[in-house]
Amino acid sequence: MLCSWLFPLLAIIIKLSSPGPVFFIQKRSGRNNEEFDCYKFRSMSVNKDSDKVQATVNDSRVTAIGKFLRKSNLDELPQFINVLIGNMSVVGPRPHMLKHTADYSAIIDKFMVRHLIKPGITGWAQVNGFRGATIQPRYMMKRVRYDLWYIENWTFLLDLQIIVMTAYTMIRGDKNAF
């Protein structure tokens, strides 16, 4: 029900705020490292670096509505399309852009283990503060540790806990969301 009015409203606001498509579609690494198109609401002006350079604090590419979308996690809503298609789940390790998968798999032990399951819209690492830019490999190492813990300790109740924690974080706000 939420999406029936929220998707069109956000689409109109995005179109009015800057030229370009409503959706940002990026190739991401999924289960078994298979590439898939990950859908998001576009939060940046159209640029040629979006597949190579992660957003950072005060990134000039982020639009005014994009700041709100990113801070509230509403930019992730179209990933429910990915869930319906079957290449993502609601909870799991967050999918990374292909460049990050290539870069980090070469330097972080067990990085590719996170690709044994479907990536998620939200995950254990995110609700524990490891989301956003990964400027240094040590931040990605911590994220991977949380992802591996999730895979090794998965239960349906853990997924429910992560969903509740995600909703709480959306309402409260997250310092790592920008």
Asked whether the predicted pLDDT for residue 177 surpasses 60, the reply is no
pLDDT tens, residue by residue, 48-81: 888 777 777 778 888 899 999 988 889 999 999 9
Read out DSSP for 90-154? Answer: EESSPP-BHHHHHHHHHHSTTGGGGGGS--EEE-HHHHTT--S---SHHHHHHHHHHHHHHHHH-
Confidence of residue 174 (pLDDT cuts 50, 70, 90): low
pLDDT at position 53, please?
79
Residue 39 φ/ψ, nearest 5 degrees: -95, 135
For residues 40 and 56, what is the distance between their CA atoms, to the nearest angstrom? 17
Beta bridge partners of 37: 27
Two tokens, residue 80: 């429910």
pLDDT tens, residue by residue, 144-156: 999 999 999 999 9
Question: Are the C-beta atoms of residues 116 and 85 closer than 8 Å to each other?
Answer: no
- Residue 136 burial by Cβ neighbours in a 10 Å radius (0-12, 13-18, 19+): exposed
Question: Are the C-beta atoms of residues 38 and 95 closer than 8 Å to each other?
Answer: yes
For residues 67 and 58, what is the distance between their CA atoms, to the nearest angstrom? 9
pLDDT at position 175, please?
62
Asked whether the predicted pLDDT for residue 19 surpasses 60, the reply is yes
pLDDT at position 160, please?
98
Question: Are the C-beta atoms of residues 127 and 162 closer than 8 Å to each other?
Answer: yes
Asked whether the predicted pLDDT for residue 27 surpasses 90, the reply is yes
pLDDT tens, residue by residue, 77-136: 999 999 999 999 999 999 999 998 999 999 999 999 999 999 999 999 999 988 877 777
